[in-house]
Amino acid sequence: MKKTEYCKTRTGCEGLPNNLRLYRLQANISQDKLAEAVDCHRRTIGYIENGQHDPSVQMAYRIAAYFEVATEVIFPNRNLPLQETVSSIKA
């Protein structure tokens, strides 16, 4: 069984929205395959997708590296307007 200490459980509050499920479905891979690739448990991927866990910085980087995109693409900074986030990625 894989360790899941990379993420913090969020009970009773909503996690930050992310694009993980969208990227995973576009890549046509299962939660199991993604979890194996980024060294975590399948449930952790599901919890991140559903906003029940917030990934650690290391986990967020591994997930973004797997999809070969910037971390901010999968886990956008919700404190910035979308246009500003896109501009910072292009820079």
Residue with tokens 């990227």: 23
pLDDT tens string, the chain, 91 residues long: the values are: 444 444 455 455 556 689 999 999 999 999 999 999 999 999 999 999 998 988 999 999 999 999 999 999 999 877 766 555 455 555 5
Give CA–CA dist 22/20, Å, rounded: 5
Q: What pLDDT is recorded for position 1? A: 44
Q: Tell me the whole-structure pTM to 2 decimals.
A: 0.72
Q: Are 55 and 7 in contact (CB under 8 A)?
A: yes
Paired tokens of 21: 């499920």
Give CA–CA dist 61/72, Å, rounded: 10
Strands (E), 1-91: 7-9, 53-55
